[in-house]
Amino acid sequence: MAKIYFFLKSYFGFSKRESRGFVLVVPALILLYIIPLGYGWLVRKKNEKHYSAYSQKIDSLVLAGWKPSQNNYQSQSLGHKSDTVKRASTYQKPKIPQFNKMSFSEADSIVLQIVPGIGQTMAGRVVKFRDNIGGLHSKDQLLEVYGMTPEVLERVFDYFDFEPGVKNKIPINQADVNTLAKHPYINYGSAKVIVAFREQHGPYQSSDDLLKIKIFNAEWVDRLKPYLEF
C-alpha cells in the first residue's frame, strides 16, 4: 500500500488522504462496472434456455405431423374481430334530449335567447323587425337586423322552424303617412311621397305604379312588393 500511495503522490500529486480515498473508490467503480455485465450474462443464459426449450417443443410437434398454418392465426384473428364488432353493435350511444322546435313567427324575445349569440338586445331587435315588417318571406331578411351575422342566422333556424309568409300587408291606398312610415322598408319621406302621389293621381293599381314616382327604382319596389295590398 505504501508503494501505491507513493505512486499516486509522485504521478498525480495526491496527498496521503486523497490516495486512501482513491484506493477505496477504485474497487467500487470496478464492482459497478462488473454488475451490469454479470446481469446481462445471466439474462442471455436464461433467454437461451427458454429458446432451447421452445425449439425442442416445436421440433417435437413437427415430428408429430403438425404444420404451422397462417389460417389458424387468421381464424383466431377473425373470431376476435367478430366478437369486437358484435360488442360494438350492441352498444348504443346515449340519446341526447332535444328541445321542441317551434315556429319562428311565434317566438318572442325571451324564447329567442336560447340561440347562442342572441342576447336580450338582439332578441328584441329581431322581434321588432319581424313584427313591424309583417312577416318574413325569406330567412336572409334577418340579416337586415342590426348586428345579425350569417353564423347567428344559421343557428336561429337550428332551433326554430321557418315558415315563409307575410301575415300583415300594407293597404297602400288607405294607409296614412304614419302607418306607412312604421314599415322598416319605408321611411317617413317616402311615405309622404306615396300618399301625395296617391291623392294627386288616384289609387295605386299595382306595385308598378310606384315606379311612376321617379325617385323610386325597381329594386326598392321589388323589395317592398310582397308587403303591399291593393
**pLDDT tens for each residue of 151-178:** 999 999 999 999 998 999 999 999 999 9
C-alpha cell at 40: 446481462
Cα–Cα–Cα angle for 177, 136, 98, nearest 5°?
145
Can you give the pLDDT at residue 73? 46
The CA-atom distances, in angstroms, between 183 and each of 144, 166, 192, 227 are: 13, 13, 13, 9
User: Given the C-alpha cell 309622404, which residue does it identify?
Assistant: 192
Please tell me the distance from the alpha carbon of residue 207 to that of residue 199, in angstroms, as a whole number.
Answer: 16
What is the predicted pLDDT for the residue at 54? 67
Q: What is the pLDDT of residue 20?
A: 73
Judging by beta carbons within 10 Å of its beta carbon (0-12, 13-18, 19+), is residue 194 exposed, middle or buried?
A: buried
The C-alpha atoms of residue 136 and residue 223 are separated, in whole angstroms, by 12
State the average pLDDT over residues 139-143: 96
The pLDDT assigned to 175 comes to 96
The rounded distance, in Å, linking the Cα atoms of 79 and 70 is 14
33: confidence class by pLDDT, cuts 50, 70, 90: confident
Using DSSP bridges, classify how beta strands 228-229 and 170-171 pair: parallel, antiparallel or unpaired: parallel
Closest C-alpha among 175, 102, 169, 101 to residue 133? 169
Q: Enter the DSSP assignment of 205.
A: -
pLDDT at 78 over 60: no
Residue with the larger pLDDT of the pair 108 and 54? 108
Task: Read off the amino acid at residue 106.
Answer: E
Q: Map residue 161 onto helix, strand or coil.
A: strand
Q: Of residues 167 and 77, which shows the higher confidence score?
A: 167
Q: What is the mean pLDDT of the chain?
A: 83
How far, in Å, CA of 127 to CA of 224, rounded? 19
pLDDT at 132 over 90: yes
pLDDT of residue 58: 67
Predicted model pTM: 0.54
Q: Please report, rounded to a whole number, the percentage of residues in the chain having pLDDT higher than 70.
A: 76
Q: What number of CA atoms fall less than 13 Å from residue 72's CA on the CB side? A: 4
Enumerate residues 6+ apart whose C-beta is below 8 A from 137. 164, 165, 166, 226
The mean pLDDT value for 68-92 works out to: 55
